[in-house]
Amino acid sequence: MTLRLTQIARILIGIWMTGVVLAMFLWIPQYEGLGNAGRIMILHVPTAWVSVLAFAVSAWYSAMYLWRGQAVDDDRALAAAECGMLFTILATVTGAIFSQVVWGVYWNWDPRQTSIFVLMLIYAALFALRAAIEPKEQQRKLSAVFSLFAFVTVPFLIFVAPRMADSTLHPNCAFAPNSSCDGITLRQGSIGLLGDRKVQLLALEEQGDTVVARVQVSEPGLTSEAVLEPTFDLTQGESVVEPTFPGLRYRLVVQSVDPANGTVLLNIHAPGTGILANQRTLVTFLASLGGFTALFFWIFSIRTSLLGVAWLLEQREVAHL
């Protein structure tokens, strides 16, 4: 019965994921500013989600193992950790490729990059620990303890990681509607930092209803400079011209103007902000999210039963001896 179910699940997931991949390349529109590289988001975000889910599942079954002491719970924890490692690698690699294509850097120590890197280290440590302990019972118990202990410290990363880099290239505003991308407020002549670029507001000119901000942007290390002129429509209350940073795909945006004080709020719009506004993209994205989650649980259940069989065989061998 279970065998039949996994067979059916395999076929269903196969068809589903094929549909997602086809839709990803053929059905959804190209996102303006990202080109075809933007399509990788359909894979990147769900794999990242699954790697976090797997970590939580692994910790849950570790706790269950310590609670009930049944070998199957430890097998589940190990299976989840193995899937998690797989998906963590997928998420990191797809993200790095995208980052290189769009922003010109493979790695930036974004908060999310930091978190997933630490997650990868934890998974690797877990496997190293399992490999280093011989008696099966001890191996199960100690790795369950480590898994739980690691799970407890991970939330601190969420507070700490944003301190590591001033900027994030991940478009936070796209996926969490209420999150804020802060930006900086500048008055004429003052300087500030957007990402790793130094920006200086040279002048603020009102031309009728639109305000033109002349902003000098300097590369890190002041190797080169450029003057960008984003504009803002005072009557509509929205930005009009959004020039891209030289050599990068993200744009400089005037978010608001305070004419009384002569200040402007400047911000970065990463490409991808609002990527899910398109209906087709949203549907494909959600389908991919569901598909990857199902895929995870499918691999997870197969791997768990394999581990169980391996354990039974091992015990039988011991009994023969």
Partner 1 sequence: MKLLFQATWAVLRKDLRSELRTRYALNALLLFAVSAATAVSLGVGPLGSGSIAVSVQAALLWVALLFAALNGLARSFVQEEERRTSLALRLTAPPLAVYLGKLLFNLVLLALLDLVTTLLFLVFVRVSIGNIGLFIALLLLGSVSLVTATTLIAAIIARASFKSGLFAVLAFPLLVPVLVVVIQGTALALRGDPWSAGLPMLQLLLAYIVVTFVASSMLFPVVWEA
Q: Does 148 bind partner 1 (CB under 8 A)?
A: yes
- Environment class of residue 208 by beta-carbon count within 10 Å: exposed (0-12), middle (13-18) or buried (19+)? exposed
Cα separation, 261 vs 190, whole angstroms: 13
**Residue 183 Ramachandran class (φ > 0 left, ψ -120 to 50 alpha, else beta):** left
Beta-carbon-side half-sphere exposure of residue 214 (alpha carbons within 13 Å):
9
Span from 74-82, 144-152, 184-192, 231-239 in contact with partner 1 (CB under 8 A) = 144-152
Shortest reach from residue 84's CB to partner 1, in Å: 14
Does 159 engage in binding with partner 1 (CB under 8 A)? yes
Is residue 128 involved in binding partner 1 (CB under 8 A)? yes
Residue from 1, 4, 68, 156 that binds partner 1 (CB under 8 A)?
Answer: 156
Question: CB atoms < 10 A from the CB of 250, how many?
Answer: 23
Q: Give the residue with the Cβ less far from partner 1, 87 or 292.
A: 87
Candidates 98-106, 126-134, 174-182, 210-218: pick the segment binding partner 1 (CB under 8 A): 126-134
163 sits near partner 1 (criterion: CB under 8 A): yes
* 214 Cβ contact partners less than 8 Å away, ≥ 6 residues apart: 201, 202, 203, 204, 205, 227, 228, 229
Alpha-carbon gap, residue 158 to 148, rounded angstroms: 17
Shortest reach from residue 61's CB to partner 1, in Å = 15
Q: Distance (Å, rounded) from C-alpha 250 to C-alpha 262?
A: 25
Distance (Å, whole) CA 1 – CA 61: 24
> Closest separation between CB of residue 282 and partner 1, Å?
34
The answer to whether 182 contacts partner 1 (rule: CB under 8 A) is no
4 or 159: whose CB is closer to partner 1?
159
146: contact with partner 1 by CB under 8 A: yes
Chain position carrying tokens 């911000």: 267
CB atoms within 10 A of CB 304: 20
Residue closer to partner 1 (CB basis): 196 or 229:
196
Identified binder of partner 1 from the candidate list 18, 70, 153, 236, rule CB under 8 A: 153
Residues 60-99, mask of contacts with partner 1 (x by CB under 8 A): ------x---------------------------------
Q: Count CA within 13 A, CB hemisphere, residue 282.
A: 7
> Could you list the residues that contact partner 1 (CB under 8 A)?
66, 114, 118, 121-122, 124-125, 128-129, 132-134, 137-138, 141-142, 144-146, 148-150, 152-153, 156-157, 159-161, 163-164
